[in-house]
Amino acid sequence: MRPSILRPLTRAHLAPRKISPAAFTPARSLFHKTAVLRDGLWTSPERKSNEPYLHLEAIKSPISAAHIEAQDLVVVDRILEPQTVANFIGFLFGNPLPDGTRPSSIATLPLKELALIQGNERVLGADTKSFFYRVMLYIGSNEDSSRLCGVGKNIQSLKSRLWSGITPLSDQRWKEKGLHLPENFDQACQNLGAVVSVFEYLNVPEVQKNLRDTFNLIYDTWSDLDVVINQRRAETGAEPVSVADLWTLYMSVHLEVITQRAHKWVTQHVDSLRAPFMQDLLAYQGQGQKVFEPDAKQWQLGDALHVLLETSVRADHTIMIPMEGYKGYKASDNKVGPPEMHSAQHQERGRRTPSGKLTVSEQIYEATTEQVDAQRQIRRELRGRSLDSTFQEPWIISKLDRFKYLENNDLPKDSGIAIYRLTHGQSESEWLEFVKKLEDHISDWGAGQDGSDSIKPYLKLHWLDGKKLGIAQDDIEAAKQHFNEVFNGFEGPDAPPLDLQSKAILAIDSASFASYMSNSYDAAKSSVLPGDSTGFVLAIDPEFDPEIGFDRPDESPDYNGQMRVLGSLVWGDLYAILESQSGGLGNLWPLAMHHPDQIYVGPVIPLQRLNWQAQKDGQWNVVSEAMNYAGKFLK
């Protein structure tokens, strides 16, 4: 099977700084020999040394146990995400590094050398496939599946998000969901534990090896490319270049950005959750307690503080991707501490308590403060000065760089998503009221996402009235056809002066209109967090063919090319994922399909799934009882 690869790069693609990869499609059947369906769950028998790694029976930490047990949908994971190669090629031809910098010492490759990457150049009788083809082959496909891994969609989806440097949950979403409230403490901790679980997975020795081997194979391929490029350069007297060394530089910065962003997100939320518990300890005086015995309230507060400490300890020692053994890499002195910092004794130092029993609130407070201070010192020693780094989300860096290019070349900068009105029964005043509610909701994003304020003015909804275009009410296929004919793929002087996202369009159908304007949308039951039951829009894949279906149907069951999305997630979540090329609607659908109203609400944790299922079961019980009651009168 020939893998699909990135579409050919042209000057038109490089000019706006946009390179779009198409993912390989390795089948989950690669894991069928090692994955067995038992009681509705995938389990793993003894695995032979030459079989792909399956994460179902990984060692569980207290923080990751719930996430490992929730791997009920196994997907194929390419450890080094395909879009990384596209972003690296963009860097070769002038784009910034993932941290937003581009040292002046790094030269930009001339566009003519792009043909050497994509062309079928021979290297001293070696592989005749193009360098680009070989690189994408090593990422993982049916032709080379040896470094693919099997892992639950719950872990893999968040891994793809973190790999692209996208915030797990913005500060705004955190508060919308009520995760800052004491009653939702368990859900808040599971969201933090989900991030830790991703890096526990990435640091499994076999997964580490797969990532390292993939990197090194790609490094060797770029080294072969260097021979060809530098032979050509020598003929013209041009300076030699090392694409292989630039690959190492790019990946070292990339891994630093994603690990530091993830670590900072977890530890900042641990600190914010800890603060009110510490205040409660100082304010609370036990009633009639014995001198050396904490009462129930103090035990409750102490347990919560212990969970937060355990989470921060795991984050400090797990959210990292060591690059030892990566070709061309030399460790920097200012990033991590000496090897002994990784020992179990070092981890334990952060958990130590002062001598004596924990009794009254003041003593628990003092013990907790000492533990936290010790852990922060360990964190500084372990992770070095990189703790002080603050990075924007890479997709924002990329878009801002593109806007700068467009502005410098007097090109239109309008960017965003097409949105179709597919409901026609409203009066003009009703429609204007709806549009205001919707746009206020969609534009209310970005808190806690560095760089969002800089990019907001450039992102716009491009409205299209289905009725004026002759599209019938709720006719999704007609909207897709219109978009593909008018906007998608058009380049050159006749192209519309818009930079619209091509992998998704939005639509306002009857249901999404009602979610903002009617009481008939009643998802906000006690089992659904308030931030997960607000108004939504319909997101549609304009390239989805119902007759062909999704290319990996077993990884996205029942996906039909469309998905409801909360309005507040349009830019900071959906658009971010599409622009970073870390997934499409079909990849996100498994996170939405269990919601009571099948709405995408962002990353999903096991407790959410349990609560949603409980609501569905309750609704079914009501229907079942009503049917049984009605049946009595039909006999």
| 424-458 pLDDT, tens digit each | 999 999 999 999 999 999 999 998 888 899 999 99
- E strand or H helix at 224, and its extent? helix 205-236
| Identity of the residue numbered 550 | F
Output 549 or 496, whichever has higher pLDDT: 549
| Strand pairing class (562-566; 599-600) | parallel
Q: Which of 373, 388, 403 is the last residue of a domain?
A: 388
Structure tokens that stand for 275 in this block = 């603060």
Considering the domain architecture, whether residues 596 and 617 belong to the same structural domain is answered as no
Q: Which of 324, 353, 388 is the last residue of a domain?
A: 388
| Identity of the residue numbered 622 | V
Considering the domain architecture, whether residues 123 and 228 belong to the same structural domain is answered as yes
Report if residue 269 sits inside a domain. Answer: yes
Report if residue 92 sits inside a domain. Answer: yes
- The residue whose two tokens read 């909360």 is 566
Considering the domain architecture, whether residues 107 and 174 belong to the same structural domain is answered as yes
Helix (H, G, I), strand (E, B) or coil at 376: helix
Band (pLDDT 50/70/90 cuts) for residue 157 is very high
Report if residue 422 sits inside a domain. Answer: yes
**pLDDT-wise least confident of 128-132, 148-152, 213-217, 550-554:** 128-132
Which tens digits make up the pLDDT trace of 228-284? 999 999 999 999 999 999 999 999 999 999 999 999 999 999 999 999 999 988 888
Nearest to 562 by CA among 506, 602, 516: 506
State in Å, rounded, how far the first CA of the chain is from the last one. Answer: 60
Output 350 or 323, whichever has higher pLDDT: 323
Considering the domain architecture, whether residues 378 and 418 belong to the same structural domain is answered as no
Report if residue 83 sits inside a domain. Answer: yes
Q: Which of 371, 388, 405 is the last residue of a domain?
A: 388
Considering the domain architecture, whether residues 27 and 61 belong to the same structural domain is answered as yes
Considering the domain architecture, whether residues 484 and 562 belong to the same structural domain is answered as yes
Count of structural domains within the chain:
3
Helix (H, G, I), strand (E, B) or coil at 73: coil
Name the packing angle between helices 185-202 and 296-318 (round to 10°). 20
Strand partners, 420: 464, 507
How many C-alpha atoms does 24 have within 13 Å on its Cβ side?
Answer: 28
Which tens digits make up the pLDDT trace of 602-616? 999 999 999 998 887
Report if residue 330 sits inside a domain. Answer: yes
pTM given for the model: 0.86
pLDDT > 50? residue 180: yes
Q: Could you tell me the maximum CA-CA distance found in the chain, to the nearest angstrom?
A: 95
**pLDDT-wise least confident of 4-18, 44-58, 394-408:** 4-18
Considering the domain architecture, whether residues 475 and 348 belong to the same structural domain is answered as no
Report if residue 474 sits inside a domain. Answer: yes
- Looking at residue 122, its pLDDT comes to 52
Considering the domain architecture, whether residues 527 and 617 belong to the same structural domain is answered as no
Considering the domain architecture, whether residues 120 and 68 belong to the same structural domain is answered as yes
Considering the domain architecture, whether residues 375 and 424 belong to the same structural domain is answered as no
DSSP string computed for 172-190: HHHHHTTTTSGGGHHHHHH
Considering the domain architecture, whether residues 261 and 287 belong to the same structural domain is answered as yes
Report if residue 335 sits inside a domain. Answer: yes
What sign has the CA pseudo-torsion 60, 66, 67, 69? positive
Residue 459 to residue 566: CA distance in whole angstroms: 17
**Percentage, residues of the chain above pLDDT 70:** 79
Residue 632: which domain range?
607-635
pLDDT > 80? residue 47: no
Considering the domain architecture, whether residues 447 and 360 belong to the same structural domain is answered as no
Report if residue 401 sits inside a domain. Answer: no
**pLDDT-wise least confident of 4-18, 270-284, 351-365:** 4-18
Output 136 or 26, whichever has higher pLDDT: 136
- List, edge to edge, every strand of the sheet that includes 74-77: 53-54, 149-152, 74-77
- E strand or H helix at 366, and its extent? helix 361-383
